[in-house]
Amino acid sequence: MSAGLLVLLLAGTALALAPAAGAAPNAPSPPTGTAPPAGSARAPQLRSGTYRFAGTRTTGAAQAAQAPPLVPGTYTDTIGPGQTRWYAVRLDGVSTADLSVTAAPRPGVAVAYGDGLELTLTAAGTAAGTAAGTGTGGETSDGTSSGTSSGTSSGISSGSGTGTTVRDRGTTCDEASAHFGQDEGAMNVTGAVSRIPGQHQLTDCDRAGRFLLAVHRTSAAGSDRRRWPLELAYATEAPLPPGTVPAAARTDHGPATAPVTGTPKDVTGGTGFNDAPRVGPGVWRDRLLPGQTRYYKLHLGWGQQLSYDADFANEPLPPGALPPTVSFAAASLYAPGRLPVRDASNGRTSAAYDGSPVSVGLGTVPVTWTNRWVPGGPAQQVHSAGDYWIALGLGPDAARLARGTPVGVVLRVRVS
């Protein structure tokens, strides 16, 4: 990686969303980017493992006024370099709403540092025109940035902001960016924004009405010029019944725990959120190709928290030989609504991979309803019981180490 090892945490999870009316559960993938180089030993395997899309086909508008209406469910679309797509949703004044967008370019196609997606959710008001990415997260020591909402993928940085007013765009309720923090090649990218009503309905974002989602693709001149396929997921969550007193927010991971041990069970991770196999506490074994992201689904209940470690195996080199390159391994998690989750355990969500064994991992705070009102930090996205998604990624340049063969990974999962 010429820009250094700037790897994001693939935080995240995704809620099992009911398809929109008329949704095709196994809809064909929209057009994608260019294939891996001719003669690449991994090309056929990567093509067979391309992100499996699901949902109703839609076409985002070029202008806010023409934004197509969405109802809860999943949708597919495409987006070109420098393009902005607009979508509309109608929300009540009490439900939480999550909107996530996943871009799945062909693994390994050309990207530059900073390429990716920007998402903006606005209370319609006077919204018009086009959106620009305006993530405002702070830079961290591993080259990733973070904010209230986030976007993640291998080598991604993320940022967000909430409750600001932008002229001619209405009130901005949430925004997030999902940018590559490396230039090895494209991988899956996921970002998400949310409307979480305040308890006193002080702003337009807290009230019922029409809201607009803008999705912008940033692309450098030398990056892949093909349209990228998108998958949008839209979910709502009703408020608690009257008189219910939720548990207090939980913002600490707690003391470090020992790694899970035991005999690994074989599993083949999914290509994305829709085909991820279900795993549980224990030890699991899989294999990843360079440029590939694998997904695994598990359930977390109220008060539970997750921690996991992923051990990437060595890729032997000839005696006395030096690694021809340094790539990366990355770990992420997504919460219900496909919200990228930030690590709460002071773990290592990304690491340089030069063929030597390396471990990455992530831990969450306990799941509580009131976490949704904790701004910033690792708690806000961990506010719903349900399905969470682990995602593991191996950088495209690892192909120069692995010579087209998969790299073994052992996944150790703890739920407490």
Say if 2 falls within a structural domain.
no
Question: What is the percent of the chain where pLDDT is above 70?
Answer: 76
Q: Cα separation of 245 and 248, whole Å?
A: 9
Say if 11 falls within a structural domain.
no
How far is residue 286 CA from its own chain's centroid?
Answer: 20
- Residues 239-266: what's their mean pLDDT? 92
Residue count (the chain): 416
Say if 15 falls within a structural domain.
no
* pLDDT bucket at 140, cuts 50 / 70 / 90: very low
Q: Give the residue numbers spanning the domain of 81.
A: 43-415
Cβ-Cβ contacts under 8 Å for 180 (sequence gap 6 or more): 111, 112, 113, 114, 115, 116, 153, 155, 156, 157, 186, 187, 189
Say if 12 falls within a structural domain.
no
Can you give the pLDDT at residue 413? Answer: 98
- Residues 156-174: what's their mean pLDDT? 55
Say if 256 falls within a structural domain.
yes
Say if 208 falls within a structural domain.
yes
Average pLDDT, the chain: 82
Which of 157, 195, 156, 158 is CA-nearest to residue 174?
195
* pLDDT bucket at 321, cuts 50 / 70 / 90: low
* pLDDT bucket at 320, cuts 50 / 70 / 90: low
Between 52 and 11, the higher pLDDT residue: 52
pTM of the complete model: 0.83
Say if 37 falls within a structural domain.
no
- Residues 399-412: what's their mean pLDDT? 88
How many independent structural domains does the chain possess?
Answer: 1
β-strands 116-123, 56-57: how paired? unpaired
Can you give the pLDDT at residue 202? Answer: 82
Say if 10 falls within a structural domain.
no
User: Sheet harboring 282-288: ordered strands across?
Assistant: 265-266, 282-288, 407-415, 306-312, 358-363
Can you give the pLDDT at residue 359? Answer: 97
Count of C-beta atoms within a 10 Å radius of residue 416: 12
